[in-house]
Structure 1
């Protein structure tokens, strides 16, 4: 009674095998026939002189400044690479041990050889820098050498030289290190960051993640990106933003243009930055580096307020919120969010909720703009402000103080 089912199964298997076999034959035949139907191989056609010139121009537009010996990146790096250095730092910190180690009951079971009191620990850091003077002046980031007890500089030729921190300015994150490496040290040519435009090529050189002599390529993404917008309000910087990869270890290294000139100092201070990097414009560093090399402190004027950019839209949203801490005028200006105690702003009578409209007769509309004006003033200079307080306009005179004193 089971044979009919078996025969049906056998017939199904036979049909499948025959269909597969016939399909294979047809596919093989198509493979042999199709190439002959495609026609003869295309003949080589020589370009006319005009067409050849057009192709050459198109290639140059895609790869700018290409030479027979390499790309423009190669030429730029060869011009600067020998002046880029690696900076290794060490510093000693005291660590308090867990109070449990001093417990008699704990020591009774684990031994008296356990440490007592504070312990010293050596912390190591790493960054980059570049030589800007044959006397051995190196420019880098302040956070690279911050509180370092020992600074070691490694040149590209392999020489290792002990360095000395001549000066550091945490506000602009710039520092100068001096080495004694003879009078024939390579020097990086400095460019003009005021000439940089969005879309220009950007070449980052340094030692990211301990990988020496690394080069990355990108473009200038934007200019004058304020430190407050980047998320570091304790700095006073307008960054060059680039998509050239900048990682820890790149800090202090040069950002180059396609001519191989330094246009910025790379700074990897945003650990969460993905696909974007920031560099301090070289023009800002030129003046400060001279002061730091002489061991001088850089004075930064300040007012002593926390502020935010105010627009009519932002003000309207705030005023419509029943839980808003204060009502503000629906105008363009800079809102004083907080006045710090014992500061020039507090002494002048400035209040929370004031809206700054003008400084020395110059209209201001953003917090970054106001910060830039104050930074370009002098310590001790009297700054005249036009302020909107509730529905009335008033004038306030503030004598700029020195930021280091407040710190």
Structure 2
């Protein structure tokens, strides 16, 4: 589906004071060298001006989405509908219905829109959701969306990589493990589905690298399903966390840590995840985890990368106790940590 949004506000001052591109304007993001990524709104945000003294300003944006339920729940990106006063949903058959934002989650950049107009007995075609944990590098995928207002555009590509962290992608304020794809995706694709060869949605197209061709990122559908289930019911999405800074033991960050702490050399570190720091008052601190610990297992599951550890923590329920097998000073020990609920 295509999503058209409108945001209202007031603008005072002369024409020279106009803000011709908000934070979600891809043209502005492209011009700013420090911004590596841009969101997928339409090519411009249009300004509709009223009287000079206190002119109402309306930002119009556009994105994509998919139908989650026959009752009219639509999944999209949070940045597509952020601050929207109105949301219009256009389906592939040309119907346009009004909707409202049922809920949005900033940490994962996901949102759910609820259709508010009567469906009059019309049955919506619900998207088939796949399992993003089944993806492999090299798998064929199709990006579906409405780039630059060109409705129902599909582009073909492959899975270029998996488990790209938010920090790697360049948006460290998010808490995501991205799918990387070389599908051609552009402004207007944001919130649209990434589909596998069986027609199942495996990701939600979210970002592109502004300085490179064929480098796009999608949120795994397994993450989206979990978050959307809460948002669709009007609840806040809960995010499991333990509150540590971490690095792979083979990384440069781990090397710097052992050198600066005088705890030996990186060669002395086993395969696993090095704890660089522990948040004050965090579940990790309360459980007794320390900087310098190397996590090798969560329960019975081995941990070799930060993505492994993050996935295991996120798979646990808030309030659940998890056993971390750690090496501390060359000796193995077990730390019991109660998973917390991350809040901004």
Pairs within 5 Å for 1:1-40: none
Matched, 1:89 2:28: no
Give the count of matched residue pairs: 303
Partners of 2:139 and 2:326 in 1: CA distance: 40
8 Å contact kept, 1:139–1:176:
yes
Partners of 1:313 and 1:114 in 2: CA distance: 56
Deviations 1:191-244 (A, max 9, x none): 423444433332211112333332212223233444444333443433332211
Report SS of the residue matched to 1:247: coil
Deviations 1:75-111 (A, max 9, x none): xxxxxxxxxx21122334677989xx9xxxxxxxxxx
Partners of 2:238 and 2:92 in 1: CA distance: 34
Structure 2 portions without partners, runs of 5+? 18-50
Aligned to 1:58: none
Aligned to 2:125: 187
Q: Report how far residue 267 of structure 1 moved.
A: 1.3
Aligned to 2:103: 167
Matched, 1:232 2:171: yes
Partners of 2:303 and 2:186 in 1: CA distance: 35
8 Å contact kept, 2:292–2:328:
yes
Partners of 1:289 and 1:114 in 2: CA distance: 42
* Of 238, 244, 251, the match for 2:183: 244
Report SS of the residue matched to 2:217: strand
Report SS of the residue matched to 1:252: coil
Matched, 1:152 2:88: yes
Q: In 2 relative to 1, CA 287–395 (structure 1 residues): closer, same or farther, beyond 3 Å?
A: closer
Aligned to 1:327: 263
Aligned to 1:140: 76
8 Å contact kept, 2:67–2:126:
yes
8 Å contact kept, 1:87–1:153:
yes
Matched, 1:285 2:224: yes
8 Å contact kept, 1:302–1:400:
yes
8 Å contact kept, 2:248–2:254:
no
8 Å contact kept, 1:188–1:261:
no
8 Å contact kept, 1:315–1:328:
no
Partners of 1:401 and 1:96 in 2: CA distance: 45
Report SS of the residue matched to 2:80: helix
Report SS of the residue matched to 2:65: strand
Matched, 1:131 2:47: no
Q: Report how far residue 165 of structure 1 moved.
A: 1.2
What is the RMSD computed on CA atoms of the aligned residues? 3.3
Partners of 2:10 and 2:280 in 1: CA distance: 33
Q: TM-score, normalised by structure 1?
A: 0.64
Q: In 2 relative to 1, CA 136–365 (structure 1 residues): closer, same or farther, beyond 3 Å?
A: same
Q: In 2 relative to 1, CA 185–277 (structure 1 residues): closer, same or farther, beyond 3 Å?
A: farther
Report SS of the residue matched to 1:133: coil
Q: In 2 relative to 1, CA 269–168 (structure 1 residues): closer, same or farther, beyond 3 Å?
A: farther
Pairs within 5 Å for 1:61-100: 85-92=1-8
Partners of 1:144 and 1:328 in 2: CA distance: 48
Would you tell me which structure has more helix in proportion to its own residues? 1
Partners of 2:223 and 2:52 in 1: CA distance: 52
8 Å contact kept, 1:198–1:223:
yes
Matched, 1:255 2:171: no
Deviations 1:36-68 (A, max 9, x none): xxxxxxxxxxxxxxxxxxxxxxxxxxxxxxxxx
Q: In 2 relative to 1, CA 220–361 (structure 1 residues): closer, same or farther, beyond 3 Å?
A: closer
Aligned to 2:328: 389
Q: In 2 relative to 1, CA 340–295 (structure 1 residues): closer, same or farther, beyond 3 Å?
A: same
Q: TM-score, normalised by structure 2?
A: 0.75
Aligned to 2:276: 337
Q: In 2 relative to 1, CA 96–327 (structure 1 residues): closer, same or farther, beyond 3 Å?
A: farther
Of 365-374 and 378-387, the range deviating more from structure 2: 378-387
Structure having greater relative contact order (Cα 8 Å, sep ≥ 6): 2
Aligned to 1:198: 137
Q: In 2 relative to 1, CA 299–309 (structure 1 residues): closer, same or farther, beyond 3 Å?
A: same
8 Å contact kept, 1:328–1:390:
no
Q: In 2 relative to 1, CA 261–388 (structure 1 residues): closer, same or farther, beyond 3 Å?
A: closer
Of 294-303 and 379-388, the range deviating more from structure 2: 379-388
Partners of 1:312 and 1:165 in 2: CA distance: 41
